[in-house]
Amino acid sequence: MTNADTFQVEEFAVIGRTFEEYRDMFDLDPADFEGRAILDCPAGVASFVAEARNRGASAVGVDPAYERAPDALARECRSDFRATADQIREKPALFDWEYYGTIENRIGYLKVAHERFLRDFSTNGDRYVPATLPELPFADDAFSLTLSANFLFLYGDRLDYEFHLDALRELCRVTSEEIRIFPLAGLDTEPYDRLDDALDALRSEGRRVEIRNVPYEFQDGVSEMLVVTP
Ligand SMILES: C[S@@+](CC[C@H](N)C(=O)[O-])C[C@H]1O[C@@H](n2cnc3c(N)ncnc32)[C@H](O)[C@@H]1O
């Protein structure tokens, strides 16, 4: 495969999605959010936490990027946003356009997400915890629901299997009811190659695992999430 055939990301893209995109990636019912402790990990510059708080959830975001000062993080995410937008415009054939409709609409979502995030991060910094998987600074069962988007499995080419298992176990430790993870494929849209091993490992520890279809698809053919009951 050449660079033109896949979406290229150096290290990890500091970009974000909106609440609406999370709702669809994780097939969530926001009516369930009132009073719930929800973890978004990694949250990056997504606006999910800010918008879930507006809906009454006690949402918290985790990301190593929160070590940075707000202005430094703003510069970094605007630069990653421009690089991502350029690549989407250059390689539209890599994506399924049914969800977003047009290139500019998809880019508009990215911009709205990080602008909403940046406003919230600079005024409600206590909702955003700087931490790095596979270790989280929370008590056992601190959250009822944990969401993990666009990190585990997606970067399977640079994060090894042991990292994935350790991170999955850590998400289970801090979550009492349910963990949802999307997507289950890499940047090249190929399914994560050791997903079955990871599911077997979680099952053998007494956890329930289920793969479900979701009403969201942008990477071609990638529309499944993993639900783990810890
Ligand atoms: C593509 S963003 C995903 C953000 C958000 N979940 C979304 O879907 O819009 C990936 C994030 O992973 C974060 N990251 C990189 N290494 C990490 C680690 N070891 N633990 C937790 N987050 C990490 C990066 O800082 C980046 O913000």
CA of 82 to the centre of ligand 1 (A): 17
Is residue 151 domain-resident? yes
CA distance 131 to 142: 15
Phi, psi of 118 (to 5 degrees): -60, -40
Is residue 175 domain-resident? yes
Is residue 19 domain-resident? yes
**pLDDT one digit per residue (tens) for the chain, 230 residues:** 456 667 777 778 899 999 999 999 999 999 888 889 999 999 999 999 999 999 999 999 999 999 999 999 999 999 999 999 999 999 999 999 999 999 999 999 999 999 999 999 999 999 999 999 999 999 999 999 999 999 999 999 999 999 999 999 999 999 999 999 999 999 999 999 999 999 999 999 999 999 999 999 999 999 999 999 99
What is the CATH number for 214?
3.40.50.150
Ligand 1 mutation target, pool 10, 12, 111, 187, most atoms within 8 A of CB: 12
Structural domain count of the chain: 1
| Closest protein CA for atom 15 of ligand 1 | 12
Is residue 3 domain-resident? no
Is residue 6 domain-resident? no
CA distance 178 to 172: 8
Structural domain of residue 66, as residue ranges?
15-23+34-229
| Closest protein CA for atom 17 of ligand 1 | 132
Is residue 2 domain-resident? no
Is residue 84 domain-resident? yes
Q: What is the pTM of this model?
A: 0.96
